[in-house]
Structure 1
Amino acid sequence: MRSILYIIAVILVIGWLLGVFVYSVTGLIHILLVLAIISLLIGLIGGRRA
């Protein structure tokens, strides 16, 4: 389960980078970064409990 969250986080960060540098869509693309950070935090917190 943790590896899936990391994969999702990496995909979202890559999408955020592409959106910022290629498409220059500022408002909506930052949601991807926030989602990536949240999924990493859930992975780290959930990993410590198990």
Structure 2
Amino acid sequence: MNSLLYLIAIILIIGWVLGFFVYSIGGLIHILLVLAIISILLRLIGGRAV
């Protein structure tokens, strides 16, 4: 389950970077960034950081 959260976080960060530089969607980009940060924090708080 933790590796799944890590994968989702990476996908969301990549989506945010692509959206930031390629598309101008507005608030959706920042929501993706916040979700990625939350999932990374959950992984770190869980104590199973690689």
TM-score tier, shorter chain, comes to 0.7 to 0.9
- How far, CA to CA, are the matches of 2:12 and 2:38 in structure 1? 11
> Of Structure 1 and Structure 2, which has the larger fraction of its residues in helix?
1
In percent, how many aligned pairs have the same letter? 75
Normalised by the size of structure 2, how large is the TM-score?
0.84
Q: Which runs of 4+ in 1 moved over 2 A?
A: none
Q: How many residues align?
A: 48
Q: Gaps spanning 5+ residues in structure 2: where?
A: none
CA RMSD of aligned residues (A): 1.2
* Higher Cα radius of gyration: 1
How many angstroms apart in 2 are the aligned matches of 1:45 and 1:16?
23
